[in-house]
């Protein structure tokens, strides 16, 4: 029996991970564009640092010039704004400014900064109606559920794009929360208290799991293995929280990979910790695992990154995406000539 609602479309999930994820995903989007797949995606789901990259792409979509499914000005409209932000230290200055303005949370200050550097006064309803659906996820701290921001008319559409991206990337406790009036409630003054989407799901899978093809770009950071665990209450509690977070991430990733194996949907997963040799492609870009693991360990922050590190993270996202796509989704695609930034490589 055919399912009543057969799967359709292509979904792409972009994980969290601060500027590291923003740049890694920018490289992945770069390669997807070259392969002609960026224009095929019907839904972009994003978390935290992934939401910054997705927000830049959504904001630029109407200005992208597609020829045969490939945006010829992707570098100028997407890569350049992302790299400009990566030259800007945000997390500590935003936190300090919020401490001096008691009526404005750090998350709301983060939204103000995103508006200044990236999005201006663009609201969700202003996103190009001809573009794919962009879903920016956040965690509702009141009920523990996932909150979605996306393009639509009405009160929800009046929410600034900068606020949606800030809520998605409001890393607790320093940059959290973002508080906004519930646009869907008839109850006057009802507030929604939101934090980083990674608190709930750092992969951002929920908005794309119903698609026929699911692509997942994961730049999340793994829990560090340590032979010595601190026994004082404070640091032991932090370690326990890391274990809980690690379990959720591994369960999500394991369920995703099982869905691929059982053919619930087509697609591929690539991540910042993958070893390209496991894809068994003779012409994959050279990315030694001892170097790429160093990139995967880049601190999860919104702080200024050196130019060469920016380029290496973009190169790494580009190479990982290329291997995943050509192995599992588009095996007839031509191999790339090289990295976007050849002189930087991956280390």
The model's pLDDT over 69-126, given as tens digits with 9 standing for 90+, comes to 999 999 999 999 999 999 999 999 999 988 888 777 888 899 999 999 999 999 999 9
Between CA 153 and CA 29 the distance in angstroms is 27
Does the structure show a pLDDT above 70 at 193?
yes
* Most distant CA pair in the chain, distance: 62
Decide yes or no: CATH 3.40.50.1820 for domain 8-344.
Answer: no
Torsional class of 189: left (φ above 0), alpha (ψ -120 to 50), beta (otherwise) = left
What pLDDT, in 10s, does the model give residues 118-175?
A: 999 999 999 999 899 999 999 999 999 999 999 988 888 999 999 999 999 999 888 9
Between CA 171 and CA 300 the distance in angstroms is 10
pTM for the whole structure: 0.94
């Amino acid at each position: 029996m055919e399912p009543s609602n057969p799967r359709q479309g292509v979904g792409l999930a972009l994980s969290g991970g601060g500027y590291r994820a923003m740049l890694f995903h920018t490289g992945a989007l770069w390669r997807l564009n070259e392969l002609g797949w960026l224009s095929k995606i019907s839904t972009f789901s994003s978390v935290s640092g992934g939401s910054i990259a997705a927000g830049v792409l959504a904001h630029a979509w109407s200005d992208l010039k597609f020829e045969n499914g490939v945006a010829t000005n992707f570098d100028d409209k997407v890569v350049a704004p992302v790299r400009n932000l990566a030259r800007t230290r945000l997390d500590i200055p935003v936190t300090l400014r919020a401490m001096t303005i008691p009526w404005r949370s750090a998350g709301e200050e983060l939204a103000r900064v995103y508006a200044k550097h990236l999005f201006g006064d663009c609201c969700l309803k202003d996103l190009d109606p001809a573009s794919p659906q962009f879903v920016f996820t956040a965690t509702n701290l009141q009920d523990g559920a996932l909150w979605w921001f996306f393009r639509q008319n009405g009160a929800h559409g009046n929410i600034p794009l900068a606020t949606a991206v800030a809520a998605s990337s409001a890393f607790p406790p320093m940059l959290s929360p973002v508080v906004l009036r519930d646009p869907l409630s008839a109850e006057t003054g009802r507030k929604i208290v939101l934090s980083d989407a990674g608190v709930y799901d750092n992969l951002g899978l929920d908005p794309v799991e119903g698609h026929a093809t699911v692509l997942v770009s994961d730049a999340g950071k793994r829990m560090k293995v340590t032979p010595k665990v601190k026994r004082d209450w404070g640091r032991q509690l932090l370690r326990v929280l890391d274990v809980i977070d690690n379990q959720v991430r591994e369960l999500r990733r394991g369920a995703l990979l099982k869905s691929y194996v059982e053919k619930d949907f087509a697609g591929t997963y690539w991540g910042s910790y993958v070893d390209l040799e496991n894809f068994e492609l003779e012409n994959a870009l050279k990315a030694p695992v001892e170097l790429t693991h160093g990139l995967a360990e880049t601190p999860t922050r919104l702080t200024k990154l050196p130019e060469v590190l920016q380029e290496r993270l973009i190169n790494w996202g580009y190479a990982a995406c290329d291997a995943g796509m050509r192995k599992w989704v588009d095996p007839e695609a031509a191999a790339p000539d090289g990295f976007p930034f050849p002189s930087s490589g991956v280390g």
